[in-house]
Structure 1
Amino acid sequence: MENIQVSDAANDSGDQLNYRQPPHNLEAEQAILGAILVNNEAAQKVQGFLLPEHFYEPVHGRIYESVLKLMDKNQIADPVKLKPYFESDEALVDVGGAQYLVRLAASAATIINTEDYGRTIYDLATRRSLIQIGEEMVNDAYDAPIDIEASEQIADAEKQLFDLAELGQADSGAQTFSRALKTAVESIESAYKDPDSLSGVTTGLTKLNEQIGGLHKSDLMILAGRPAMGKTALATNIAFNAAKRWADDIVAGVDMERSKGSVVCFFSLEMSADQLAARILSDRANLHYQGADPIQSHAMRQGKLSEDQFQAIARAAIEMEDVPLFIDDTPALSIAGLRTRARRLKRQHKLGLVVVDYLQLLRGSAKGGNENRVQEISEITRGLKGLAKELHVPVLALSQLSRQVEQRENKRPMLSDLRESGSIEQDADMVMFVFREEYYKEKDEPSMSEADKHALWQAEMAELYGKAEVIIGKQRHGPVGTVRLGFKKEVTRFTDLIDEDHLPDQHF
């Protein structure tokens, strides 16, 4: 309000202001508040994007916030109802106190123009935030201590610009409990109305979804296992299932805000992009192929295919063309580089799930060289957790297990088996282990000369064949436990395990 008076005085005297004011439009703020006070339905047109902090004049933001609170209680918000809350507001003293609310109602815009005014206020608030970021960038570049590298300043500025582009504000800061509560209720409502009863991104595996409720936004999930257990296969299956669900929901005309699929980026630091794509392609091609021998990715690379197999691959490739799965196979990627690429995909393609294979192959800031690997892993896990919260997406990171698993008789992994387990276990919201007892039992084949032992071994192998376990060792949102899955080793695919009482009768 004082800014208007100063501006008018300057214009009356013919003087020009000798400084630049931040961009704002008090008249638009007054007009939109007036429209809302006259007809509360006007607020519904703007409350999805316009927040109290977007108003330049603080008291306007407080009035807007009070209106929304009354509306949440199903009460009418008008000057009479709001008057008791603002009678002692010092910011309104110079303009007539609570009577200012009546003047706002008198200067109301029509409800038709409400959204336009709201967009104007939002745009000006964004410009003010952009100016603030720019000023901080300049000041930090001039005053930065010698031990802070320029790349860190770039990463910090990029984060602020990303937040501004995605959230409408450069720094989200503290938020009221009511706003956090509203978000939580919306998530619960979405899960309640969803036919799959999921609150997160689907894994494509029914039993696993039931145990964990899907992959939750802002969560860091660790998927760990010893070599040959199928870590990459399970992560690839989950990534493809989530991306395919997104593509299928688009075709089905589903409200994509409620979709349980997602756009996925798979950071493959171990396998090349074409190897990963070939593995996924062979898996999908086998769904179209009815032959006796499954199509395997190594046979595809060598060109050892029948005509029917090639046709199945062609059909699968066409089916997969529109699946929003991005693969980044940059070797020795740093956590800062991964964050930059993920932000770009979030901004350009609405990224909804990040998969990292695997976290020990990521690099930290490398300030101290390789002297302290545990400290570097701690930095990486903190960075991945920060990325999940910043982008508001689930991050699934694969991890190795220490060799001590192999020394035990019971080789089912535990949290203490994680390499550099202190930081990984602490930062993760969920820790899952992949375990296939079949792999270890296969190594224990007795000699054929010991007929009884070999017969017992064969019976045990038949019981374990094609079965895997996903052990939930830690979960902030639910119980721990074990999920039994099927595993088709020839095509590296995890599936829901069919209960034996649902299998068809076998006749020998």
Structure 2
Amino acid sequence: MNDEIERTIIATLLNKPPDVNLVNINEEWFTNSDYGVIYKAVNELAESNPNLMSIYGKASKGLTNLGFSDLSTIKSEYVTDSNLNSLASNLHKLALNKEMYRNIQEWQNSPFEDNEEKLLETLNKMQNLEEQSDSGEVSEQINELIDSFDHPKPTGIRTYPQVDTFVSGGLYGGMLFTIGARPSVGKTAFSINMVYEATKLDKNLHVDYFTLEMNKREMLNRLISRNTGISSTALRDPANLSPILKKLVLQSTEYIQSRQIRIFDKTKTLDQILSVIRKNAAKAKPNEYLAVVDYIGLVVVPGNQERYVKVGEITRQLKVMANEFNVPIIALSQLNRGIESRQDKTPLLSDLRESGSVEQDSNVVAFLHKPYDSKDVVQLTIAKNREGQLGHVNFAFNGKGMKFIEVE
């Protein structure tokens, strides 16, 4: 049964590569590793609507049993793409059944807390998948449509109005949103502002923020600074604050504690980060989970591979997590120094540091930079966008208060 489902999915995608954006599939769900390699190749090339030769060229190094003629045969078996979502759901279900069997075996052999937690995570994923199963009925969708006439509903996690417009209504499930910048431009501060705006709009939103450059206290100071306008420098020595400012800080800490923001400053390896996302995203309701990784270049991946290979693994796995749990992930990235030597310092996709996989795996790539003709404006330039337009949003940045404000 697995092979039939997997082969039909691949046949569909070989004929209609852009359809890969209509489903959330993890390449690791394929029991046939060659199909997983082909799926990955289609996913990376989908925007250019590639032909069979291009797909084969991209996948050929990873294929073990399939040649070009085999792909041609599979492509000829295509009938329709109308059942693609159903096939993807069945593929996911079979993968979860396999994962459940494996976790049960591990727990029976070693009944400890870690294995019990893995088992519970898989149960949660299976339950979420069942809740999303399609009965064919449309009455619920009709009721939602009618209700939305007077009660508009967000299509994703909202942050800033103009940013939301560019990303089709908000940060959506399956999105890997990469924000690149040179040091000291304010990418960490900007990501904190996005978290602040998102949690202000939805108090039920759960955020996992992985800070690899700062500790929890520094991040807390920045959140308080964003909330109160008190500089993070002053918060390093709060004993010297006036009574009024101390009261503001206390009110701010109460506000932050009322939100579901978790900060991880000792979670440094890729496996640790993925484990936390897997655990918390599996429990979250739709549009109520967001992960932020600050930043890609500091994530630890064991092994002796070249750094670009490790970065490729980081972005691939973050994208896999976003797809598997249907959640958005924001990843921060540094840009190459070469940008400083150019006359036009507007960032380009080629400026992304260390690996082309950052661009390939991201749904949206945006650059934070200061336009050459302005000292008071920081610009977010959307350079890649699978689900919307390209363009830029201007922000006024108050460095003392860590605050980004959209401006026209």
Q: What is the TM-score when the length of structure 2 is the normalising length?
A: 0.65
Query: 1:401 & 1:184 partners in 2: Cα distance?
Result: 43
Query: 1:274 & 1:423 partners in 2: Cα distance?
Result: 32
Aligned with residue 342 of structure 1, among 277, 291, 297: 277
- Cross-structure match for 1:207: 162
Aligned with residue 128 of structure 2, among 151, 163, 166: 166
> CA 1:342/1:209 → structure 2, altered by over 3 Å: closer, same or farther?
same
Query: 1:337 & 1:189 partners in 2: Cα distance?
Result: 43
Query: 1:188 & 1:374 partners in 2: Cα distance?
Result: 46
Aligned with residue 209 of structure 2, among 266, 280, 297: 266
Q: Is residue 187–residue 199 contact of structure 1 (8 Å, CA) maintained in 2?
A: no
**Does the residue aligned with 2:346 lie in a helix, a strand or coil?**
coil
Q: Which has the larger displacement, 209-218 or 274-283?
A: 209-218
Q: Is residue 222–residue 432 contact of structure 1 (8 Å, CA) maintained in 2?
A: yes
Q: Deviations over 1:20-46 (max 9, x none)?
A: xxxxxxxxxxxxxxxxxxxxxxxxxxx
**Does the residue aligned with 1:399 lie in a helix, a strand or coil?**
strand
> CA 1:307/1:131 → structure 2, altered by over 3 Å: closer, same or farther?
closer
Higher gyration radius (CA):
1
1:410 is displaced (CA, Å) by 1.0
Query: 1:244 & 1:416 partners in 2: Cα distance?
Result: 35
1:340 is displaced (CA, Å) by 1.5
Count of aligned residue pairs for this structure pair: 305
Q: Deviations over 1:382-414 (max 9, x none)?
A: 100011111211011101111111111111111
- Cross-structure match for 2:41: none
- Cross-structure match for 1:423: 357
- Cross-structure match for 1:243: 199
Q: Is residue 208–residue 483 contact of structure 1 (8 Å, CA) maintained in 2?
A: yes
Amino acid at match of 1:236: I
1:342-421 to 2 correspondences below 5 Å: 342-348=277-283, 350=285, 352-364=289-301, 366=302, 369-421=303-355
Query: 2:355 & 2:327 partners in 1: Cα distance?
Result: 23
Amino acid at match of 2:224: L
Q: Deviations over 1:152-201 (max 9, x none)?
A: x99997764442243249xx9xx88979x999999988987665x74210
Query: 2:323 & 2:99 partners in 1: Cα distance?
Result: 21
1:222-241 to 2 correspondences below 5 Å: 222-241=178-197
- Cross-structure match for 1:471: 381
Amino acid at match of 2:164: N
Q: Is residue 384–residue 395 contact of structure 1 (8 Å, CA) maintained in 2?
A: yes
Amino acid at match of 2:166: Q
Q: Is residue 121–residue 282 contact of structure 2 (8 Å, CA) maintained in 1?
A: no
Query: 2:126 & 2:244 partners in 1: Cα distance?
Result: 52
- Cross-structure match for 1:300: 235
Q: Is residue 191–residue 198 contact of structure 1 (8 Å, CA) maintained in 2?
A: no
Query: 2:381 & 2:182 partners in 1: Cα distance?
Result: 13
Q: Is residue 244–residue 324 contact of structure 1 (8 Å, CA) maintained in 2?
A: no
1:301-320 to 2 correspondences below 5 Å: 301-303=236-238, 304-320=240-256
Aligned with residue 280 of structure 1, among 223, 228, 232: 223
Q: Which has the larger displacement, 421-430 or 340-349?
A: 340-349
Query: 1:355 & 1:139 partners in 2: Cα distance?
Result: 33
Q: Which has the larger displacement, 387-396 or 343-352?
A: 343-352
- Cross-structure match for 1:62: none
1:134 is displaced (CA, Å) by 5.5
1:482 has 2:398 as partner: no
Instruction: Quote the sequence identity (%).
Output: 29
**Does the residue aligned with 2:223 lie in a helix, a strand or coil?**
helix
1:279 is displaced (CA, Å) by 0.7
- Cross-structure match for 2:13: none
1:214 is displaced (CA, Å) by 1.2
**Does the residue aligned with 2:171 lie in a helix, a strand or coil?**
coil
Query: 2:336 & 2:244 partners in 1: Cα distance?
Result: 43
**Does the residue aligned with 2:236 lie in a helix, a strand or coil?**
helix
Query: 1:133 & 1:282 partners in 2: Cα distance?
Result: 44
1:322 has 2:277 as partner: no
**Does the residue aligned with 1:270 lie in a helix, a strand or coil?**
coil
Structure 1 unaligned spans of 5+: 1-127, 143-152, 248-260, 287-294, 442-459, 500-508
**Does the residue aligned with 1:321 lie in a helix, a strand or coil?**
helix
1:36-55 to 2 correspondences below 5 Å: none
Query: 1:418 & 1:177 partners in 2: Cα distance?
Result: 44
Amino acid at match of 2:365: V
Q: Which has the larger displacement, 236-245 or 422-431?
A: 236-245
Amino acid at match of 2:202: W
Amino acid at match of 2:183: P
Q: Is residue 377–residue 397 contact of structure 2 (8 Å, CA) maintained in 1?
A: yes
Amino acid at match of 1:377: V
Q: Which has the higher contact order (CA 8 A, sep 6+)?
A: 2
Q: What is the TM-score when the length of structure 1 is the normalising length?
A: 0.53
Amino acid at match of 2:216: A
Q: Is residue 226–residue 400 contact of structure 1 (8 Å, CA) maintained in 2?
A: yes
Query: 2:146 & 2:340 partners in 1: Cα distance?
Result: 45
Query: 1:473 & 1:370 partners in 2: Cα distance?
Result: 32
Q: Is residue 190–residue 199 contact of structure 1 (8 Å, CA) maintained in 2?
A: no
Query: 1:187 & 1:262 partners in 2: Cα distance?
Result: 21
